[in-house]
Structures are given as structure tokens and as C-alpha cells.
A and B are shown apart, each in its own frame.
Chain A
Amino acid sequence: MKTLVKWRLIVISLSAVLLLNGCGFKDIDKRLFVVSIGIDKARNSTKKYLVSLKFAIPGGKNKANDFFIVTEKADSMAEAVRAIKTKVDKEIDFSHAKVFVFSEEMVKLTDNAGVYYWLARRRDIQEIAWVAIGTPTAMDVLKVKPKSEQLPSNALFLSLGKDGSETPYIISEFYFDMKKRLIERGLDPFLPIIEAKKDLLEVNTVGLFNKSKLILNLSQEETKILNHIMNRENKSALWVKTGNIKFIVNTTKIKTKYKIITLKGKQPFIKVSVKVNGTIEETTAKITNEKLSRYEKAAEKRLKKQIKGVLVKIQKANVDPIGFGLRYRSRHFNNNDWEEWQRIYPHLVFKVDTKVKISDTGLIE
């Protein structure tokens, strides 16, 4: 009798548990996957933002790369998403939203914190998503359908991630890193700029932020140099002109170190040392192995000038994407280290030391 009662209890509690399954259970085919989110500044409207969600349409082999974009004007992300929900038939799932594109106009606004943190607050958005600036608008970037693309937005994933193309002109940025840079003193955010062409997406410049506001756009070459300074990509190329010979060094390794030196009574400076290994890829005149050191010298000189130029440009704009300020704060334990750094940074001098090693001419002599 006692065991019977026990069994009844178990059966009842188990069947009660079975009734609970409604809460999180939603089949994969009843979800609409958002692959990328675009946020523009709303035009001709009282609302602030124009939010576009790019949904992937699941299909077999024949219907690959099908997507549709739903847009909504709203003052906040939450509002926009709620409104978009009423326009689609299935549950919106952000778990595969891997790219957030902001338009240039939008990032020039000052009070975007609500949008930036909405991305972190949603539990289904993964913080390993990439963030970028889209031109002319974020919506245009979402609309592009490159010919080689197999799945919606896959071209963006591949060019921003390391899976696909590897180039020094793309400095990709993860959302979690951006979130950190938004509040960290002495480390400023930057976002790659994606330009929508007819059938292509071009990513080769970067925009630097002063916290939440876009301040400075770097050119393509400057982006490459910034990439070298931040040790992001080893595969690169150096264009060097010496006399009337122009040659290009294909790099296999680039390593940058820097040290902030503040001596009492002297002007503080940052010692940046860059080591580059590479081979010659193209040249306008013959280069022999014996004379390689001459060309190394020329390359060093050129690189030094370029790096210094970029560093000064960044300093002039008073932004800090490399994190000099954070490095300074981590080595100085004063209460007013941040104020001190803000005082020092505009007057810093950069002493750049470059070392280029060209291992061979690329040809057998």
C-alpha cells in the first residue's frame, strides 16, 4: 500500500512536469533567424532610429541565399523589435545575429547607449557578433547580395572573421570588445567601415571613436598601419620607394611593442618598436641578396615614417584605440592616474624604432 502511494506520487509529479514544456520549447522551423541587424538614423520622421533586421529564409539546396529585410522606425531597439514581431509569422531568434551595422550618421549621434547596451542585455544575442559602420547606410549594407555568397550575410561573416579573407585592411571588432571599450578609460572603440557597392562589400577603412561618438576616419593605408601597431594581422605588404626603385615586401611576421616612458622633469614619450619579417614580392629593378640590407634600411625608414604619421594623427584627434591610456594606468597607481594621462597624452612624443628583415628576394639566383 505504501509503495503504491509512493508510485502514484511519482507518476503524478512526472506528468505534472510534462505539462511544463511550453515555456522554452520552440522548434527550429518555427523560428526566424536574424543574421544581421542594421541601425540607421531615421529620416523625415519624429522617431530616432530606423532598425532593419535581415532574416534568413531556410531552404534546401535550391533556395540558398534567400533573405528578407524588415524595417521599422522607432526610438529604441526594444520598440522596433516588438513592432517587427508583428510583421513576421515566426518567433524572431537573435541567436545567429552575427553582424551589427550602424550607419555613419547614427554613430555620430551622442546618446546611443540604449542601443549599444540593448545588444548586451538581450540574452539570445551572442556577444561574439561583429560590429561595423555601414556606408552609405546600414540598410544598404544589408541589402547587398554578393555573387559568391552561399548564405545570407555569410560574405560579411567571412570577411570580418578570420575564416575567410585575411587582409590587413580589415580591423574587425567584436561586440564584447566594443562594449569594454565604451566604458574603459584609456581605451577607445573603433569600428571597421563597410561600404556597400553594387554587388560587393568593401571593407578597408576604420572609424575611430571617442567613446560613443565617431571622431576620425582613417584612410586605407592608415588602417593597415594601425593594424600593424595593434598586432592584428601578420600577412601584409610594405610599399617602399628608394631612389627610383620601388619594391614591395610581403610580410610573414609583424610584431609591435611599445613602452610609455615618463621620466621626471623630461617630456614623456612612447617608445614603439616594430619588427617585420618578410620577402620581396615585386620590384621595379633587380635586387640581389648581397644588397638586401640596403633595402631593409629603406623599408625601415619608410615604415617608421608611416607609423609615426598614424600615431600622431590619432593623438591629434585625442582618441586612443591602441590603449596607451590603459597601459599607463596599469603601470601607475595614483588615484588621479586618469587625469594625469589626459594631461600627458596631447604632448606625448612617439619614438618609433623599426626593424625590417627581408629573408630573401623571392627568386633563386
Chain B
Amino acid sequence: MPSNKVQSIKEELKEKIMQSEDAVFKELHTKEKYIEALYIKTISDETVIQDYVVKPFFEIATAETFLAYLQSHPKVKPFESEEQTLEELIRGVAVLFYQDFIFIFDSKVDRNNSVLDTTVETTIQGPQSGLSESLPTNLGLIRHRYPETTLNVESTTIGEISKTKVMILHDEKLVDQDVLRRVKEFLDEVDIQMFQTGEQLLDLIKKSNRALFPVMLVTERPDRVAVNLAAGKVVLLVSGSSFAVILPTVMKDFMASMEDIYQTYWVSIFLQVLRYVGFVTSLILPGLYVAVTSYNPELFRFQLALSIAGSRSAVPYPSFVEVVIMLFMMELLTEASIRLPKAIGPTATTVGGLILGQAATEAGLVSNIMIIIVSAVAISNFVVPINAFSFSVRIVKYIILALATCFGLVGVVLGFFMFLAYMVKLDSFGQPFLTLVQTKSTKE
């Protein structure tokens, strides 16, 4: 490259970057040779520059040998274009000007590469470590768990400002090409300024079709990612996020915990049944309470009917108001305990759950049975292993409650059928939401 052109590029880059305080322009001299380096010190690893550029520069005597050293170094790339260089510069590379050459030296610092413990999807047995916040580390973790040559990695960027790097992983042999195409189309359509983490996609896809339920699974577990890759799913890794997105996901995946494959057969069957029972309980119990106490008390055993009537006798409001009050309190409590710092979280739940519940019954605002119902609903809601899904379920129970208030038991049945019909309609990237057995791609 002619030296005047090198000079002009250098000046232009310097002009664009030097306003910021953390930009560094360094000149190194020996008798035979002269090198200039331009980088941003906050996102570049200066020890890497020191080890691979500065030290060899003073150790290697002749100018030709040093040029050969630079050209053969794996971290060094030749200059391509000015825009591309600028782009790389703000991501942490160093630009080296040596003789009439411009080199791009990869000195990006990777600050968040520590592997985190799982905090959201905890299991008793099985791997305990989750993903990290660094994209290369995550990819490494997954490749480590999924050593297949057919594992295909593509990358794209999302976000107008954030330009976040997103990697699309799939097993070439197992993936459904139609699903892959839909996923890519979806990613192309994403219109967002700041893209920070995969969970945002849940919201973005919702805006496009207003889905009540999530149709992709966000996980922090590399073992879940590996298992899903083997099932022919597409995995998205987002730079800077310790969560991976798995698509397409259906109800079965939301109700599965990684623990299921780490337990013996009957235990995991039992746990699955338990989860589905809990799921249905949290859905219909509030509605069922209203329907049975206010429309069809003959459904209770006589003893229970009398004790409910007795405990309700001091309550001034109709049953549905009672249920709504208590459910609202419970939602507040759940919400508050998420936001609160870990140190005072238990206090809040104790004060809220025990004292408030006790006081509410003493004051005659709600009946004893209601406290049991609300606690049962809250607990059974947490049985659903994937949080995004259990949040959705929290909403559906109000719809069923409203229908039960208006139509009694028929309303509960109607609400449940509507819920079922909605799930039948729903699909995740072409996969029906209620798919029980996921078929592998027929194209081998």
C-alpha cells in the first residue's frame, strides 16, 4: 500500500477516534524499525498488546523478521477497508501501522467469561453450572457438550444501536430446514434498538402475534442446550447474556425439567404427573372455588360445605371479590419477593404470607378456606419449571375465574376449553404447541 494512503487512513482513523479519552495512539521506536498502534484501552487487553506486539518488537532485531512475525501471527488480520477497521476498533482490536502495512490485531478483552452457577433452573442432581456472559465461552461450553462435526454455527447481529452479535446453532443433520428458515426470517424482521438478551425475543415475537404463551424457551443450562440440539432444535446465543434461546418450543418442553433425565424412570414419571396436576390446579382452583361455593355447593361433602359456610359467614363480600382480593395480594407478594434484595426477601414473604393471611382471616375479610386455596394456587404455580410459562399461566387463571363468576361450573369448563382451544391454535415456528412427540426431520 502506498505510504501516503496509509498516512491518510491513519489520520482519518485518529480523527474519528481520538476525541474519546480512552483512545490510545502509541509510537514505538528502535534503531531499525518504527511501529504505531491505535486502540481503545478500556475494551482492549493491554497485556496482550504488551506480550505479542511490544515485547517481540524490541526482541526481534531486523525489520523484515518482525514483518514476517506480524504476518504469521494468528491474532493478526490484514487491513480490508476503512469502515470495517473502524467497526472493529470500537469492539476492542488494535490497529497497527508498520512500514507501509496496516494490521488489525485482535486484543479484545473478554471480561465476562466466568461460568455462572444455575440460579433460575436449579436441579438437585446433574450439572450445576450454567452459561457465562461471554459468547465465545458459551460456544465453547456447548461445543464441549456437543462434539459433533455437524454442529453448524452462523452469526448475525440484532439491534440498531447495540449491534449485538447473535449466534445461530443447529445440528445440520437433525434440524428441520423449514423451522430454520422461519427462525432466520424472524431474526431478520426483529426491529429493535438495544438488544441485550434473548428474553427480549419473547416479547418481540409476542408483538407480532400477541401470543399469551411463550413459544421459545430461554435457558441458562448448557446441558439443556445440548439435549435440545440433539433433538433437532435451533439455539440462539446472544453476546453478553448468560441465557440461550431454544426454538421451537412446545408445551412439553415448558413442563420438562432437566432433572427428568437425571432421575430414574418412575420418579421422573411421577414428577411429570405432579407438574401437570399442579399446572391444572393453579389454573382452575380459584374459578372452581367460586363456582362451587356460589353456584353448586352440593359438590362438596356435607361436612366441608358446612365448614366453608361457617368460615365464610363473617366475610362481607361475595366469594369472587374474596378470591380476587387474595389473589391480588398473592401476586403482589410474588412480585415483591422477586424485586427485593435477597437479604430481606424472606422477611417480606413471612410478613406477607403468614401475618397478612392470619390477620385477614381474623379480621373476617377472607375465609380460612380461601387462604388454603390461594396458597395452593401459588405453590402449584411454581411447580411449572420454566418461569416464562408459569407467568402466562398466572394470567389465564383470572380468565377462568371471571368465567366461573359469571357462569358457575359451566364457566370453569368453558374457560378450560377456551384455554385448550387457544393452545391448539398456537404454534412455535411451525410446530403445534401441544405436540407430544417431536418428530425428527424426515430428510436425512
Contact = CB atoms under 8 A, between A and B. Distances in A.
B and A form one assembly: yes
Interface of A: 17-18, 20-21, 24-29, 31, 33, 35, 56, 58-60, 63, 93, 95-96, 98, 124, 126, 150-151, 154, 157
Contact of A28 (B302, B303, B312): B312
Given A29-B312, A58-B309, A154-B302, 11 more contacts: A24-B295, A25-B294, A25-B405, A27-B318, A27-B319, A28-B308, A28-B309, A60-B311, A95-B296, A126-B298, A150-B303
Nearest to B292: A28
Contacts of B305: 28, 33, 96
Contacts, number: 70
Contact of B309 (A17, A29, A157): A29
B141 interface: no
A150 B307 CA distance: 12
Most buried by B among A29, A59, A96, A154: A29
A18 B319 CA distance: 15
A18 B310 CA distance: 28
A157 B309 CA distance: 20
Contacts of B298: 95-96, 124, 126
A64 to B, nearest CB: 9
Contacts of A33: 297, 302, 305-306, 309
B200 interface: no
A27 B294 contact: yes
Most buried by B among A28, A29, A93: A28
B297 A151 contact: no
A103 B408 CA distance: 38
A96 B307 CA distance: 13
Contact of B294 (A28, A96, A126, A154): A28
Nearest to A64: B306
Interface in B273-313: 293-298, 302-303, 305-313
A17 B311 CA distance: 30
A24 B408 CA distance: 8
B302 A96 contact: yes
B406 interface: yes
A31 B309 contact: yes
B315 interface: yes
Interface residues of B, number: 23
A58 B295 contact: no
A337 B108 CA distance: 102
A21 B309 contact: no
B313 A58 contact: yes
B301 to A, nearest CB: 9
A17 B406 contact: yes
B315 A58 contact: no
Most buried by A among B295, B297, B318: B297
A322 B350 CA distance: 64
Most buried by A among B298, B315, B319: B298
B399 to A, nearest CB: 11
A17 B410 CA distance: 14
B302 A151 contact: yes
B346 to A, nearest CB: 32
Contacts of B408: 24-25
Contacts of B406: 17-18, 20-21
Contacts of A58: 306-307, 309-310, 313
A60 B295 contact: no
A27 B312 contact: yes
B318 A25 contact: yes
24 contacts: A17-B406, A21-B405, A25-B408, A26-B294, A26-B295, A27-B319, A28-B294, A28-B297, A28-B308, A28-B309, A29-B309, A29-B312, A33-B306, A58-B306, A58-B310, A60-B307, A60-B310, A60-B311, A96-B298, A96-B305, A98-B302, A151-B302, A151-B303, A154-B302
User: Which 7 A-B residue pairs are closest in the complex by CB-CB distance?
Assistant: A95-B298, A58-B309, A58-B310, A29-B312, A28-B293, A29-B313, A96-B302
Given A25-B295, A27-B318, A56 B311 contact: no
Contacts of A151: 302-303, 306
Contacts of B293: 27-28
A29 B315 contact: yes
Contacts of A157: 302
Interface in B215-234: none
B310 A59 contact: yes
A361 to B, nearest CB: 43
Contacts of B307: 58, 60
B324 to A, nearest CB: 13
Interface in B87-130: none
Contacts of B312: 27-29
A25 B307 CA distance: 19
Contacts of A154: 302-303
Nearest to B296: A95
Contacts of B309: 28-29, 31, 33, 58
B405 A28 contact: no
A186 B86 CA distance: 103
A126 B311 CA distance: 25
A261 to B, nearest CB: 46
Nearest to B303: A151
Contacts of A59: 306, 310
B302 to A, nearest CB: 5
Nearest to B369: A28
A26 B313 CA distance: 13
Nearest to A21: B406
Contacts of B297: 28, 31, 33, 93, 95-96
Contacts of A20: 406
Contacts of B303: 150-151, 154
A82 to B, nearest CB: 21
Nearest to A19: B406
A56 B302 CA distance: 10
Contact of B319 (A17, A28, A35, A93): A28
Nearest to B406: A21
A58 B297 CA distance: 13
A306 to B, nearest CB: 38
B207 to A, nearest CB: 16
Most buried by B among A27, A95, A154: A27
Most buried by B among A17, A21, A25, A126: A25
Contacts of B318: 25, 27
Contacts of B319: 27-28
Nearest to B402: A18
Contacts of B294: 25-28
Given A18-B406, A24-B408, A56 B306 contact: yes
Contacts of A93: 297
Contacts of A124: 298
A96 B302 CA distance: 6
B414 to A, nearest CB: 12
Interface string B171-191: 000000000000000000000
A33 B297 CA distance: 10
A21 B403 CA distance: 10
B297 to A, nearest CB: 5
Most buried by A among B293, B311, B319, B406: B406
A56 B308 CA distance: 13
Contacts of A24: 295, 408
